[in-house]
Amino acid sequence: MKEVKVLEFPKILDERGNLSFFENQKQIPFDIARTYWIYDVPGGEARGGHAYHSLQEVIIAISGSFDVVLNDGQEERVFTLNRSYYGLYVPKMIWRHMENFSTNSLALIVADQPYNEMDYVRNYNQFKRLKFNL
């Protein structure tokens, strides 16, 4: 899972409150085509459970915390996101889901493509077949 990485965004610390930011091709390693967010997740629920054929994304816990579980078909890694100045970069063809959302957590996802259901891989066995050319 060598392409997966945790990005640290700039922090402008100020007595009036802190500020962080990202820009295309700088802190975010692509041009953002779409931003969406996940909120009001009931306790115990999970989101995701799919991979993308070609989309890459960065996932940020703007508020609260949650776990992002990544699986490349061989190993699984869990990233707990709980600070708004970290972003998890997830390349294409990684199976991923999100779980353990804290109360009032807010997940922000920026992606390099508009929404396209055709880019989703929603079946784990199909994901493995595609990943390993089976």
Site residues for ligand TYD per CB under 6 A? 34, 36, 38, 47-48, 50, 115
Give the shortest CB-113-to-ligand TYD separation in angstroms: 10
Give the shortest CB-19-to-ligand TYD separation in angstroms: 26
Spatial CA neighbour of 88 closest among 73, 102, 70: 70
Spatial CA neighbour of 71 closest among 89, 103, 41, 93: 93
3-state helix, strand, coil in the chain (%, to 5): 10, 45, 50
If the CB atoms of residues 1 and 38 are measured against ligand TYD, the closer one turns out to be 38
If the CB atoms of residues 21 and 37 are measured against ligand TYD, the closer one turns out to be 37
Does residue 50 carry a catalytic annotation?
yes
Catalytic annotation, pick one of 50, 53, 128, 131: 50
Give the shortest CB-11-to-ligand TYD separation in angstroms: 28
What is the number of residues in the chain?
A: 134
d(CA 92, CA 15): 39
If the CB atoms of residues 75 and 117 are measured against ligand TYD, the closer one turns out to be 117
Helix and strand tally (H, E) in the chain? 1, 12
- Which positions are catalytic? 50
